[in-house]
Amino acid sequence: MRKKQQYAVIGLGRFGSSVANELINLGYEVLGIDRNEKIIEEAGERLTHSIIGDTTDEEVLKAIGIRNFDCVIVAIGDDIEASIMTTILLKDLGVPKVVAKALSELHGKVLHKMGVDRIIFPEREMGARVANQIVSPNLLDYIELSKDYTIAELSATKKIAGRSLKDLDTRARHGCSIVAINNKHDIVIAPTADSVIEEGNIMVVIGTNEQIDKFESVINN
């Protein structure tokens, strides 16, 4: 059985809290880190773990065991220096995946040069959407239709390349449906059973969150 990934969110302001809460809702363990004691007290009721800490201090990060987390989200609110220092330390300590919030276009360029795996501009992206994309490497975008139902864009992997929708039979096997395919040439709306998926095609899938998660797990393993 695949180990459930563990996440750490540094900075629990509005955006960081939104990401952390959605990761919890998705069933993942989340460590929240913030300098503000009051914020940590409030977050402690929702998150798996929460601690007060200055993440610009390498020793603090080592004591937390930050390199053991699969992904760390740097969501520091309005302190660019703290964001950059924290990100440098996370990269130096070997954190497998670092996602960082950018406070400006210039900040985003700096984060890009530092090798951040994903840069988020929170004024453009909702925390819930970011959380879903972080945990699902093949999920390009999603729209929540209701509490349970979602339309998602998934990138087709090599595992299903060359197979038709009839072969995949996602409706019967996973409960979700592929309602469109975006290939290099055009977008096929309401594809037929004979439509063939190629690696890198963008599949627009509709179903419950659980059904889409199940389908994504299958095409990744």
Exposed, middle or buried, 184 (CB in 10 Å: 0-12/13-18/19+)?
A: exposed
Question: Which domains does the chain show, CATH number per domain?
Answer: 6-135 (3.40.50.720), 139-220 (3.30.70.1450)
Q: Are 153 and 159 in contact (CB under 8 A)?
A: no
pLDDT of residue 2 exceeding 60, the answer is no
Phi-psi bin for 116: left (phi > 0), alpha (psi -120 to 50), beta? beta
What is the per-residue pLDDT across 109-159, written as a single tens digit (0 to 9) for each? Answer: 888 888 899 888 875 556 656 666 666 655 555 555 556 677 778 889 999
What is the per-residue pLDDT across 40-96, written as a single tens digit (0 to 9) for each? Answer: 888 777 888 999 999 999 999 999 999 999 999 999 977 888 999 999 999 989 999
Residue type at 78?
D
Q: How far is CA 210 from CA 23, 25, 50, 94, 133, in A?
A: 14, 12, 27, 32, 15
What tokens does 25 get?
A: 């809702």
Residues contacting 101, CB < 8 A, separation 6+:
11, 15, 16, 73, 74, 75, 76, 83, 119, 120, 121, 122
* Residue 120: its H or E element: strand 118-120
pTM of the model: 0.61
Exposed, middle or buried, 54 (CB in 10 Å: 0-12/13-18/19+)?
A: middle
pLDDT at 125: 56
